[in-house]
Structure 1
Amino acid sequence: MQFITLLTTLVLGSTVTAHMELGWPYPFRDKANPNAPQAQIDYSMTSPLNADGSNFPCKGYQVDMDDSSGAGKSIVTWNAGGSYNFSLIGGATHGGGSCQIALSYDKGTSFTVIHSYIGSCPLSSGEDFQFTVPGDAPTGSSMFAWVWYNEIGNREIYMNCASVTIGSGSGAAPATKFSDRPELFIANLGNGCTTVEGKEVQFPNPGPAEDVTTKNSVADDSGSYTGTCAAVKGISGSGPAPSGGSTGESTSPATTAVAVPSTTTAADTTPAADTTPAADPTTLSTSTKTMTSTVTVQTVSPGVFATATASGTAPATTGTSPADPVATGTSGSGSAMVAGSPCSTDGMWNCVDGTSFQQCASGQWSVVQMLATGTQCTPGQSSTINISAIARRRGLGRRIPRRAPRDFRP
């Protein structure tokens, strides 16, 4: 009998090498990117950047912006001043962490941060994150970049980039000019500074308060990075962490503003057989979760979202997908633990019914996530998780299309 090697779908514990990627907009060389040459597709998009910084930025794929084959063709047009979303997909969130998104107009020579997400980024596969393109952002060809520092696991930096177009917009100019916005925070690339496991990175300069989302799940984030952050290939360079090795709390005012979380979706992570976006993306989710409040979202136009109402403050879940926490459970029971409920041992795994899993991170259980299609785990809680392939008869397998982007524009 032939067995499937699972290390490329779920690498666990301290040996984790990767598990989240930019799902939308489609990054360079992603299997879902219609512009990616077949011979150049990267089937390990979830891997972190090389520790020596050799493939920083963008895993080196920013060169596709100059590719005459069209590999760097724009995926989507966003108008200056408009509100949009990006999504993250993968198999393990490593407790969340902190993310930044940025735009580059010089093909990766420099990056300007347009939003920082401090804590809880991400907590589930298929999660959408809202942002606003600065009203004075230059128009034309641009490169969108997502950077992630995971909370639990090896000290790494994850980065994916996508080709986008910034269209003209309207409205008042923002209080902070585009040229005055910060550069990306860069660590864990042998540049003199390192993030601290179990902490959610507090960016030393996250940007204007209106472009910062803070949802810390760690009680004490002091000392979230140490050392002096030197520039990498001329990009960034944040200087030393504050005395005592603390996080480098923001020098921007009111950086602890909390944004109302949007509804997130649990999405299939199986490689897509058909990447053509559906006409109505709102029908594609398999289950819906509201993290901290019940939020009604009105679609203004494709990719433009406006919060209509927000009711209640208690966590709520809907749907019957196995990704929904349904019970408190006990050790060895194989039952799901309520997301956010206390747990005693960080790093502890919980296999739920053999089909999904969650992890203890910063004293709390994470949301439940589905295993990769064709795999199973041994139910119960343990310091390790036993993953194996499900034997199936020839001809019975099928591939499930990947979730279409919310702000897809034909």
Structure 2
Amino acid sequence: MKFATAVVFLVALVASASAHMAILYPPPRGGLGTPQYNGRIHTFIGYKDSKWSMRFPCGGYAPSGRKPTALRAGQTVDVRFFASGMKSSDLAQQPKLVPANRQFSQARHGGGMCEFSLSYDNGKTFHLIGRYTKTCPDAYYEWPVKIPANVPSCNKKNQCLFVWSWTQYYHNCADVTIAGVKNGKLPSKSIQIVDFPGHKGGVMANGDGNKHKASTGPNKKEIENNMRGIY
């Protein structure tokens, strides 16, 4: 996976940002390298803020204006996460796992369930394509998610999204294009939406309990499930 190293100059901003988690790749709305970037990319949907009345979908961010990430049916996307303790070298390439006393701090909140989905209507509906439980998120690992081989193409401006959601509730959207198949079909399952007004509250993530340090990474069985497109 190639990721533009132009984001490195923003490390100073990262260090001062809220210490939560966000996706780094694919680049999301409000994320590093976008004109909208600020610490709110790290805040959860239900966080009270006088400036934003609604953060769902996509954390409240409109399209970034940057070129969408080009994806294709059947492609494996190696999702990366962004933690405020990361250094320039960590942003430029996948960080190497080091002993716990040398790791950067991550607000993993003890881990939990990450869901990955596609939206072809700018966040009105979501189609589940991948899920990791217990150890997700973690910026020390890549999290493989497969675009189903039979999805249709999506090229409508500002409508096509690759989405990460996480119990508590976080929601990042990356603008993408998808080269799909003729008469393709989107997965029927939707995502879990919880813990903000209008939705079920008090949902706790069944995580690994490791609040700030690295986990054991993606579960091998869950990788296999995601590669098979069981959703």
Per the shorter chain, which TM-score range?
A: 0.5 to 0.7
In 1, Cα distance between equivalents of 2:30 and 2:223 = 33
Secondary structure of the 1:258 match is helix
The CA deviation string for residues 212-236 of structure 1, in whole angstroms up to 9 with x for no partner, is xxxx748xxxxxxxxxxxxxxxxxx
Does 2:41 match 1:50? no
Give how far 1:169 is off: 6.0
Secondary structure of the 2:135 match is coil
Tell me the equivalent position of 1:28: 29
Work out which of the residue numbers 221, 224, 227 in structure 2 matches 1:258: 221
Q: Percent identity?
A: 26
Give how far 1:147 is off: 0.4
Residues 19, 92 of structure 1: 8 Å contact kept:
yes
Change (3 A) 1:99 1:195: farther
Does 2:109 match 1:94? yes
Work out which of the residue numbers 146, 153, 175 in structure 2 matches 1:163: 175
The CA deviation string for residues 127-175 of structure 1, in whole angstroms up to 9 with x for no partner, is 21001101121212321110012xxxxxx301111111111369xx9xx
Q: Which amino acid aligns with 1:89?
A: F
Q: Which amino acid aligns with 1:79?
A: R
Secondary structure of the 1:163 match is strand
Change (3 A) 1:82 1:125: closer
Residues 97, 121 of structure 1: 8 Å contact kept:
yes
Residues 103, 144 of structure 1: 8 Å contact kept:
yes
Unaligned runs of 5+ in 2: 1-14, 84-105, 210-218
Secondary structure of the 2:59 match is helix
Tell me the equivalent position of 2:161: 143
Q: How many pairs are equivalent?
A: 172
Tell me the equivalent position of 1:375: none
In 2, Cα distance between equivalents of 1:58 and 1:21 = 11
In 1, Cα distance between equivalents of 2:223 and 2:148 = 19
The CA deviation string for residues 54-82 of structure 1, in whole angstroms up to 9 with x for no partner, is 11000222x327xxxxx1530x2111012
Q: How does 1:391-402 map to 2 (within 5 A)?
A: none
Q: How does 1:233-382 map to 2 (within 5 A)?
A: 258-259=221-222
Secondary structure of the 2:40 match is coil
Change (3 A) 1:190 1:165: same
Alignment root-mean-square deviation, CA: 3.2
Give how far 1:92 is off: 1.6
Give how far 1:117 is off: 1.4
Q: How does 1:79-118 map to 2 (within 5 A)?
A: 79-90=72-83, 91-118=106-133
The CA deviation string for residues 240-276 of structure 1, in whole angstroms up to 9 with x for no partner, is xxxxxxxxxxxxxxxx992359xxxxxxxxxxxxxxx
In 2, Cα distance between equivalents of 1:192 and 1:168 = 33
Unaligned runs of 5+ in 1: 1-6, 11-17, 66-70, 150-155, 201-215, 219-255, 262-304, 306-410
The CA deviation string for residues 84-140 of structure 1, in whole angstroms up to 9 with x for no partner, is 211112132111100111111111111111112122112x32321001101121212
Tell me the equivalent position of 1:194: 201
Tell me the equivalent position of 1:41: 37
Tell me the equivalent position of 1:183: 190
Residues 81, 169 of structure 1: 8 Å contact kept:
no
Residues 46, 195 of structure 2: 8 Å contact kept:
no
In 2, Cα distance between equivalents of 1:192 and 1:259 = 27
Residues 193, 199 of structure 2: 8 Å contact kept:
no
Secondary structure of the 1:139 match is coil
In 1, Cα distance between equivalents of 2:77 and 2:172 = 18
Give how far 1:51 is off: 4.6
Q: Which amino acid aligns with 1:59?
A: G
Secondary structure of the 1:77 match is strand
Q: Which amino acid aligns with 2:82?
A: I
More strand by share: 1
In 2, Cα distance between equivalents of 1:260 and 1:43 = 30
More helix by share: 2
Secondary structure of the 1:193 match is coil
Tell me the equivalent position of 2:145: 131
When normalised by structure 2's length, the TM-score is 0.63
Give how far 1:9 is off: 5.0
In 1, Cα distance between equivalents of 2:164 and 2:118 = 9
Secondary structure of the 1:120 match is strand
In 1, Cα distance between equivalents of 2:55 and 2:29 = 14
In 2, Cα distance between equivalents of 1:257 and 1:101 = 17
In 2, Cα distance between equivalents of 1:107 and 1:72 = 16
